[in-house]
Structures are given as C-alpha cells and as structure tokens.
Amino acid sequence: MSEKRSAELLHDPRLNKSTAFTEAERERLGLIGLLPDGVETMELQLLRAHRQLDAKTTDLERYIFLSQLLDHDETLFYALVMSDPARFLPLVYTPTVGEACLRFGHLLRRPRGMYVSIARRGRVRDVLRNWPEKDVRFIVVTDGERFLGLGDLGANGMGIPIGKLALYTACGGVPPEVAMPVMLDCGTNNQENLRDPLYLGLRQPRPAREALDAFVEEFVCAVSEVFPGCCIQFEDWAGVDAVRLLARYRDTTCCFNDDIQGTAAVALAGLLGAVRVTESTLSQQRILFLGAGAAATGIASLLCQAMVSEGTSEADARARIWMFDKSGLLHSQRQDLEDFQRPYAQEHVACTDFVTAIESISPTAIIGVSTVGKAFNRRVIEAMARKNERPIIFPYSNPTSHSECTAEEAYAWSDGRAVFASGSPFGPVRVAGKTFVPGQGNNVYIFPAVGMAVYATKAKRVTDEMFIAAARGVAECVTHADLDVGLLYPPQSEILETSLHAATRVAEVVRARGLGGVPLPENLGAFIRSSAYRPHYSAT
C-alpha cells in the first residue's frame, strides 16, 4: 500500500478506525508513526467521545462535535449515537437540527450529501454520477421550503436529510453507505438568507410550480437510471408540493413522504397503544379531530384504512371520524370545505363550540392538530372525562407552545384517567399519587423501520398498508409495564429493537403483496436482523 493510500485511510470516515487500528494493521498499511502508539478499543474511544461531549456547554456545540465525528470516523459516530439513542436523538435531529439549519452556512465544516441545483437542469444524471457510492438505495430529498415550522430555509435545509438519514442508520439499521442526502436547491424566497454573505445556496427566487415539477421529474428519472431500485423519501416540502408529488409518484416509483405517511402512522401507533389500555379496538373508537388540515386528513385517511383492514366497511370507518376546524364542526352543509376535507363532513347541525361537539358526538378520542396551544382547556378535558372512563387525549401540535394541552393538564383535569400522547415531549408528571410517563408521537418510531424493510426487501413500492403494518409493529413493542405508567410508545432507548420488529411487519406486507425485489425467506425477522448495520470496526 502506498504512503498516500495509508493517509487516505485515516481521512476516509467509512474506513477510518483511528486509534483502534491494530499494531499488525498499522505495520501492514503503513500507518506506523501516523497515529500515537496506544492501540485503543472502541470502548475507550467512546469514553473519550463522551468526555469531549460532556465538556461542551450547548447542544449546538454538541451537534457540531457529532457532525465532525461523522466526518472523521463514521463507525464511532454510530456506536456513540446507538449507545444511548434517547440522549442523542435530540442532538442529531430535532430540536437541535433546527437551530443548526438556521445557521447552516455559518457552521459548515465539510460539505456532506449531494446538492443538485435547479441551475443544473438538463444534466442531473451527470451530477448524480459524481456520488462516490454506486449502490445507493435510499435518498432523503428536500427542497428546504417547509422546514419543521421554521419556513423556507433554502439550501440550509440540507441538515434535515443528513440528520434524518443518520436516524435511518442509528434507529433502523439501514447501512450508511447506501444512503444519500439530497438538497434539490431551487433557490429561496427567504430574504434573510439572500442577504447573508455566508448563505451557501442558489441566490434566486423559487420557481413557479411547472418549473419545479419539471425539475423534480428530471431528478426522479435520473435517480431511477443512475441508482435503480433506490427509494426516495420526500422531506419537508411545502404542503401543496408534498401532496402533489406524492400523488404523482407513489404508484410508479419507490417513494414516500414521511411528513404525510410517517406522521399518520405514528398517530395510528399511538391509538393502537391506547385501545390496549381501554380494552377496545380501533374500529370501536369515535375520533374527533381539532384541526382539519394536512395532518388531520392524513391521519384520518390511514385510520380509515386501518379500520377497514380490521373488517369495518369504509362507510362505517368514515362515520367514526369527525373533524372540527376554526369555523366549527365539518358537516355536510358547509360550503367552505376543500375537496380533501369533504370525506370527513358528517350529517350534523352546525356547531361552533368544541365542548358542545364533544357532548353531541361522544368521542372516545380527541386528536389536536390545530396548531392552537391550550385549545384542550379544562372544559374540554372534563367533558371527555365525563363521557369516557379512559378518555384518549392526543394533543399533537408542535412545538410545545402550540400543544393543545400539557400532559399535566390532561392527567390533572381527568383525575389521572386520561390516556395521553403528544406531538411535543413532556417529562413525567405526578398526579393523584401516581407518576405518569407521557409518550411522544415522534416519526422516528416509523420511518427508520419502513426504510429498513424497504432496503432489506428491495421493495418496489411503499404503500399505506406498509405504514399500517409499521404502526402495528410499534404498538406491539409497548409492554404492559409501559402502559401501566401511561406510555403508549416504546421507550426511545429501545428504538433499534422496536424498528427491527416494525420492519419485520412491513416486510411481511412486502412479501404478501409480491413487492419484494429479492426472494424473501420464511423467517423475515432473522432476515431483517441479519441485514441491519451494526457499528463494529471490520478487519482492514
């Protein structure tokens, strides 16, 4: 091995073992003298990384440290994150990634991922061929326009595909070498970015819809040509674009949208956990949404499909779902509804008071996706507690300030009877002499599992049925002990195990529907586990 090759090894994050290269490897690879003499185990390297992290004073500094570790020694990065997922998820992804993306151009050390700008129209294939890996199986692609409630971040949104793919690996076992983060840089309408000399993206306004669609079309076609069999996950696109692009590609391309399908599945998983507490079934619920927007209708659609899969007719499933938006209850006489809301307009007199709607409809569950903080006030929770022995209360709006109620409010106003999960995290609360541990409906329970199943089975399509299977798999991982303390989702500390179980459920659907791109064995659980990435140094 040439001298240059040896030094290259230390700078290749996928091959670098740093101080863990053995004496024999150092001799053979010409690394003697390029490393200090001490040969370390990964445990020692992890100890150092933990100490270095502990010395940082802000989460943003910890994010930068972790990004640099990923650039330097990928195996150690994943070993660190997977050693304590509950601690590291908020650092690698939300909420810290939000702060990092706002300042992405300022924080840049080493560019990561693929930037395909609309200025390269007509040569997207060639751009993709510049990627060093040839077997790309998973792409997370954003145009950075609707970023976690922070709006149009333009090219600064690249932090999201990077962070999300790190979770596919750390939480789902998808090997990092098959993953490619992509920023489709279509410009930005964010004036602050455009004024910032350190902004890294294309400095032009966003294109009209036709031009955007033509560019996405070129990208999708180029991916299928350069990386056949690759799954594309659309992430953080503006709502209308997200819905349109998913509708356009879902039946012809292996793709999905986590904001739409993952969100719906995580809510379904929470409800499946809740009905174990109330000792009923999904199809026996009457569900009233506060909010009738993208999240509400996306969740409702998956809930209906899940009820139908339990044997309920589609009409009966629809009849169990009610929605209440800023103009009141969705009923069939309303003239102001969008087409996507119409299926949820029920026969009912006009009603503009949410508590009156609860009294009239007697829902077993309320789901808040209204963005209106505190909308589940005391009257609302007390009405639900009057109607139900165990009222299901899911305030799913983010961030915490928009949550329709806090965990403490839900438990306190229902005398500890609420079955609770939320979109934003809440710590344990003590009410009526009992400690409750609220679960957070975080999409990380779903997308790594779906991604792992798609990767392992080489699935040709991603269907809603696969998301329902993932939700069921997650709900199956919730133990009686979890339910006893009010936890409707498995603990985040066990996310890899949960994902591998849920991925097995998804793979069962892939096999049953003949969607696999490889022959699938009888024991899908063992197959998924044997395909999963583990952060161990291999012999060099």
- Residues belonging to the active site: 93, 164
Q: Does 363 contact ligand NAD by CB under 6 A?
A: no
Q: Does 423 contact ligand NAD by CB under 6 A?
A: yes
How far is Cα 197 from Cα 263, in angstroms, rounded to an integer?
A: 36
Query: Within positions 311 to 330, which residues make up the interface with ligand NAD, using CB under 6 A?
Result: 324-326
Among 142, 263, 463, 531, binds ligand NAD (CB under 6 A): 263
Region from 53-61, 190-198, 244-252, 396-404 binding ligand NAD, contact rule CB under 6 A: 396-404
> Is the CB of 64 or the CB of 294 nearer to ligand NAD?
294
Looking at beta carbons, which residue is closest to ligand NAD? 293
Structure-block tokens of residue 530:
């044997």
Q: Do residues 429 and 439 lie in contact, with contact meaning Cβ atoms separated by under 8 Å?
A: no
- β-strand pairing of 419-422 with 392-395: parallel
Q: Does 276 contact ligand NAD by CB under 6 A?
A: no
Q: Which of 128, 132, 97 is nearest to 14 (CA)?
A: 132
Q: Does 369 contact ligand NAD by CB under 6 A?
A: yes
How far is Cα 329 from Cα 235, in angstroms, rounded to an integer?
A: 31
Q: Annotate each residue in 20-59 with x if it binds ligand NAD (CB under 6 A) or - if it does not, as one string.
A: ----------------------------------------
DSSP-based three-state secondary structure for 421: strand
Q: Do residues 329 and 357 lie in contact, with contact meaning Cβ atoms separated by under 8 Å?
A: yes
Shortest separation between residue 367's beta carbon and ligand NAD, angstroms: 9
Query: Within positions 432 to 471, which residues make up the interface with ligand NAD, using CB under 6 A?
Result: 441, 443
**Torsion sign over Cα 493, 499, 500, 504:** positive
Q: Does 295 contact ligand NAD by CB under 6 A?
A: yes
- β-strand pairing of 179-185 with 114-117: parallel
Shortest separation between residue 234's beta carbon and ligand NAD, angstroms: 14
Region from 197-205, 304-312, 369-377, 459-467 binding ligand NAD, contact rule CB under 6 A: 369-377
Among 76, 124, 292, 365, binds ligand NAD (CB under 6 A): 292
Q: Does 268 contact ligand NAD by CB under 6 A?
A: no
> Is the CB of 201 or the CB of 293 nearer to ligand NAD?
293
Burial class (CB in 10 A: 0-12, 13-18, 19+), 530: exposed
> Is the CB of 62 or the CB of 318 nearer to ligand NAD?
318
Residues 6+ apart with CB under 8 A from 532: 172, 173, 452, 496, 500
Region from 394-402, 426-434, 471-479, 509-517 binding ligand NAD, contact rule CB under 6 A: 394-402
Q: % helix / strand / coil in the chain, to the nearest 5?
A: 50, 10, 40
Q: Which of 131, 160, 341 is nearest to 222 (CA)?
A: 131
Please give the residue ranges that form the binding site for ligand NAD (CB under 6 A).
263, 266, 290-296, 324-326, 369-372, 375, 396-398, 402, 423, 441, 443
